[in-house]
Structure formats: C-alpha cells, structure tokens
Amino acid sequence: MPELRQNLANKEWVIIATERARRPEEFHQGVRTKPVLPERSPDCPFCPGNEAACGTEHFSLGKPDWRVRVVANKFPALVPDPPPAPPHTGLYRHLPGEGIHEVIIDSPSHAKHPALLDEAARRDLFLAYRERFRAAAKDPKVALTQLFKNHGEGAGTSLVHPHSQLIGSSVVPAGVRHRMDEAQKYHYKHKVCVFCAMAEEERRLKVRILADTPHFTAFVLFAALSPFHIWVLPKRHTATFGDSTDSELDDLSQVMGSLLRRVDRGLGDPDYNYLIQSSPQDRGETDAFHWYLSLIVRLTRTAGFELGSGMYVNTSLPEESARFLNGIPDGA
Amino acid sequence: MPELRQNLANKEWVIIATERARRPEEFHQGVRTKPVLPERSPDCPFCPGNEAACGTEHFSLGKPDWRVRVVANKFPALVPDPPPAPPHTGLYRHLPGEGIHEVIIDSPSHAKHPALLDEAARRDLFLAYRERFRAAAKDPKVALTQLFKNHGEGAGTSLVHPHSQLIGSSVVPAGVRHRMDEAQKYHYKHKVCVFCAMAEEERRLKVRILADTPHFTAFVLFAALSPFHIWVLPKRHTATFGDSTDSELDDLSQVMGSLLRRVDRGLGDPDYNYLIQSSPQDRGETDAFHWYLSLIVRLTRTAGFELGSGMYVNTSLPEESARFLNGIPDGA
C-alpha cells in the first residue's frame, strides 16, 4: 500500500508509491550511455595546457602541475559587479544579478569522475570546496553559498571534464528560508537540532544507514524524494560547511568515495547531483541548523504532479535502496 | 548582465542568466524525436475497444462511443481505502497513502496530443477536468486536488496515448502551504488579490502577454523559472477551478489550443507539463488566492543549484519568449 512519509527536518511529504515500486536493481542504467573519455582532451578548457581558456584563477593546489583548480565561470549565472538594475517602474521586484560563480575543476583528469578519483585527489577536491566556501563566507555580497556537482547530462552538466560549481547568491531563496524556519521551529520545541536527532535515529534503526564513521553518518532518507536520495551529516553539530576540520574533510572524502563507488557500480554510472546545504550568512552558526551533503541520483523525471504540488512520488523503498547499496563492494 | 527577478505571488527569486541566454528559436527541438503514432493501437489500454484493460470508469462523455473517459489509475500513487499505517515507533511521521488517482483519457485518438485535438474535443477534455475536480472537492478524504498533464517522456509520461491525471491528496504539501501564505500576506497588505494584480499588470505592459480573451489572460511569467513558463489566469476572481462556468471553459479550451499549437509549432513538439493550481480544501474560496493553469515546457534540466537552493536559473528572456510565441501562427 502506498505510504506518505514526512521529512522531519523540512516537513516535506513524499509519496512512497509501493504500487509502482521498482526493485533497486531495476534502476540500473543497463547499457552504458556515457562516452568513454580520454585522460586528456586537447579542446577541453579544463584540461592541463588549456588554462588560458578559463576565467581568472581563484585557487589551486600544486604549481605548475595543479591537482585541483578553481576559476571564474566564463558564463556566470551571477556576477560580482553588475551595473545597477533599471529602476522599478511597475509592480515587480528585480535586482542586478549580483554574486559569484566559480568552477572547481575536480582534477586534471578528463576521464575520472568522482567515483573514479583516488583518495588523495578526492581529498584535494574537498579541501578546495572548503577553502572556496570560506572565501565566499567572507564576501559581503554573498548571502548564500551553494556548492554543487552535476554528473552527466541528465543532471544538467554541459562540459564533460569533471567539475563542481560554487554559486554565491546575493539573495536567499524562499525555499532556503522555509528550510531554516522549520529547523528553527523544531529546535525551539524540542531543544535539539533536528538533524542531530535524525542522524541518531538512523544509527539506532540501522535500516537505511550507508556509513557510520568517526565524523559522519550517511543514510538513505526515510522520506527520500527519489530513488537513492542520500544525506551525509557530520556528527559534530555545526551549521556551516566552512567550519569543517581537516580530519572531518578526510573522513568526508572517504565516505563520499565509498558512496559514489557503490552508486556507480550498483546503478551503472547513473547521472547524479550532490550539493552542500549550509546555513545562509544571515543565520551563520546556529544550534538549529546543521550542514549536510545531499546526493540525488537522477533516475526518474519529475512530472506535472511534482511541479504543481512540490510533493514527490518515489517509486522505490528507501530501506530496500539502502540494503542494495550496502551489498555493493565499495573498494577503490 | 544577469538579473534577479522575483515572482510577486510566491516570492520565488529566479536568475535570468543573460550571459548564457539562448534565443527563443535555439530551443527548437530540431529533428523530431517522438514517434509518429497511429490513430489506434491494438495494445493500448486507453484506445477504444480495450476499455476492460482499465480501472473502474468514473466518468465519460458519449456512450458507447466515448469522447473522453476517466478511469481509476491501475498503479495509483494514492488509494481510497488504505489499511491503517503501522504505528509510529520512532521519530518520523508517516501516514497511509490515502487519496484518489484518476486517469483522464484525453480522447479516443492514440495520436492526437492536445495541440492537435480539434476545438470540440479539447472542450470535452476541459469539461471532464472540471467535473472530476468538482467530484474530488466533495470527497472528504481529499485535501488538495492536483490536475496535470505530462506530454512526452521528458515530462514524465510513460504511456503515449494522450492522457491527463488527477491526484487528490489527503495531505497538503509544504510548498502549497507556503504559496497560500504568501498570497494571503499580499492580500492582507494590499487588499487585492496578487494574481488579479499580476494579470492586470501584464495586460497594461503588453510585453509578455500571449492571450487576452473575454475570460482569460495568458502570459510568460516575468520571473519565469524556465524558458516558456506560462500562466493562464481567469479574469473573474475565483480560487477554485471547479467553480469555472461553461463559458469560461469554452474560452479556456480555446486559449489552451492557441498556446499549445504555438508551442508545438514554434519549438518542434517539445515535452511539456501543464497543471492547474487551485485552492486546497481547507482554504476553499478565498479573496487571497486565484486558480491558474501553469504550462511548463521541458527544454532544460534542473541541476545541483536548483535542487539545493530551490532557485532556478533561466537561460531565456521572458519578453523574447513571448515575442517569439506571438510570431507563431496559432490557427487550427
């Protein structure tokens, strides 16, 4: 029978559609659809040797043989110094598209997406994430920092060389405000962080857990919005990703390696996004919010129901998804 | 320069990404990707002759040669009489998947998607929409009625015979509550319906308007979340679609015919969803909300930024999209 489940942190309902549920292995992509890529591609702006084709470099590890590199996006969604917007003449509100938009080139390899990176390279990548997060937090025009990765066309990527992105927005979207408000309400009522409570519950129940390490808890969400919807939470309560310590970063990059290898092998290199949810600048460190990484495998398409209601129909059972992923070897 | 625009009704910000904007004609699908369908398909459960393959019939126009037919979904996302959910043992909230899920078979034709239906057939379809909306509104287990259409695989459809769906949910999703709250706030502050105000503004500005008929206003949204994101609003203030009169339905089906033909011709039969946003049962008729139809053409994929922030990046200019669609002939 179908079940309605509510995410405790953001109060979103999801329909777990058992009548149309598929077994985890049925989500395997089957025949490989992604091209096999060379280690270097002469025309790729992100490959070593083509550095001049990129925007301004903001950060790199290793010189001149860089291991990870952060550059300004050449087609930015937001820009640092836009001219003032034309005055408001009518009913609607608009603002200059102010903010920052950076590209994090994951590694020099054109071919190695994050499931294939070795541990040291992934550690460098997560270090770059943290450094750019910290820099964005100091930028007075940034109200919210979103760090994300799009893997595969179905996840919205256009350039194949593995890369991540950071957008620092000058406005805080309504959805983020609602998320913060719900966490705040829970904290006010129960005097505990709702994310800490969820991670503890998952460790206790053990039916959706994917990783339980010194610093992180990873699990398929009870109210997963889509098949294999995963959260990774630090055990230490902190609201901002930039606050992560070196040993937390070590641990996180290992947890992510294990998760991404299992997703890659178990589901046949599917498209996915991962993204870091961190407290907006005007809330900063708070007892009520907890940063987390969300991994969303793009196996299904949203339809009119989701677009209209904001409520998702998930055709998989989160407990089965977790059992399936835990059966996949995660060795590098 | 990129621009941030806010939807006045729901306060959602969107990035109009001028640096990566494409011209309207660049969104054309090019070579046809959808199969050319026969007028009848022997194996299709929705084609005449195969009525027994469907769930219980709830409604039809014309007997025995039906013109539109509404049946229970055989793989429902929600069901009318689920057994009680297992008791809450832990932290999370869950409920039985209670509700209704109907399939509206648009017409007997396997081939004619809504842009190709003749006026009389489209009028029958919208009549069926209203009748099922009214029936759902009387059902005590339904808290919110969502009516939607998925056209094409990229819009989430699986069965090709053109059909629409109605889901009556026993819970009201958080996103719908937020939308209602924002409309309520605007009404409290300005003493007018924000949707009435937006439609009036669009008729005054004339730069995004697509249709201005006796009963409806259709326009590309100032803060369109994606290319060719269109709203169709009734001129008479009413919060519930089920309240539509016969002459309003006549007009709406003509407006939709014109819009869908222009989208079909101008963009090469793209995938799209349309859906009706109507007041949830517990708010009912209210001066603060206004029902509308939203048409979302699926030309781009959401990426990690949208998934994380809830804020969209739109790579088209709404005013250019409107000008483009207004240049496409809409004759049947």
What residues of chain A lie within 8 A of the CB of B4, using their CB? 94-98, 170-171
Q: Is it the case that residue A43 has pLDDT exceeding 90? A: yes
Q: Note whether B19 contacts A94, CB cutoff 8 Å.
A: no
Specify the CATH number for the domain of residue B247. Answer: 3.30.428.10
Q: Please tell me the distance in Å from B238's CA to the nearest CA on chain A.
A: 18
Is A83 contained in some domain?
no
Residue B193's contacts (CB-CB under 8 Å, 6 or more residues apart) are: B183, B187, B237, B287, B288, B289, B290
Task: Among A201, A273, A276, select the one facing B303 at the smallest CB separation.
Answer: A273
- Please give the residue range of the domain that contains residue A50: 8-21+39-74+96-326
Is B49 contained in some domain?
yes
Is B27 contained in some domain?
no
Give the helix ranges, DSSP H, for chain A.
119-137, 174-190, 194-205, 246-267, 304-309, 318-326
- Mean of the pLDDT values across residues A86-107? 91
**What average pLDDT does the structure give for chain A?**
95
What distance, in Å, lies between the first and last C-alpha atoms of chain B?
39
Q: Please tell me the distance in Å from A64's CA to the nearest CA on chain B.
A: 30
Residue B124: the pLDDT is 97
Q: Is it the case that residue B20 has pLDDT exceeding 90? A: no
DSSP per residue, A233-284: EESS--S-GGG--HHHHHHHHHHHHHHHHHHHHHHTS--EEEEEE---TTT-
How far is Cα of residue A141 from the mean position of the Cα atoms in its chain? 22
Q: Note whether A304 contacts B155, CB cutoff 8 Å.
A: yes
What residues of chain A lie within 8 A of the CB of B182, using their CB? 174
Q: Is it the case that residue A14 has pLDDT exceeding 90? A: yes
What residues of chain B lie within 8 A of the CB of A82, using their CB? 1-2
Residue A60 structure tokens: 């790199």
- Mean of the pLDDT values across residues B220-239? 97
Nearest CA in chain A to B76: A19
Is B86 contained in some domain?
no
Is A3 contained in some domain?
no
- Mean of the pLDDT values across residues A122-147? 97
Task: Among B76, B95, B309, select the one facing A146 at the smallest CB separation.
Answer: B309
Nearest CA in chain B to A279: B309
Domains held by chain B: number: 1
What residues of chain B lie within 8 A of the CB of A85, using their CB? 3
Q: Is it the case that residue B68 has pLDDT exceeding 80? A: yes
Instruction: Assign B257 a pLDDT band (cuts: 50, 70, 90).
Output: very high
Is B303 contained in some domain?
yes
Is A27 contained in some domain?
no
Q: Note whether B8 contacts A92, CB cutoff 8 Å.
A: yes
DSSP state of B83: P
Q: Is it the case that residue A32 has pLDDT exceeding 80? A: no
ipTM comes to: 0.95
Q: Is it the case that residue B88 has pLDDT exceeding 90? A: no
Question: What are φ and ψ of residue A61, in 5° steps?
Answer: -115, 120
Instruction: Assign A294 a pLDDT band (cuts: 50, 70, 90).
Output: very high
Is A304 contained in some domain?
yes
- What is the sign, positive or negative, of the torsion defined by CA atoms of B186, B190, B196, B197? negative
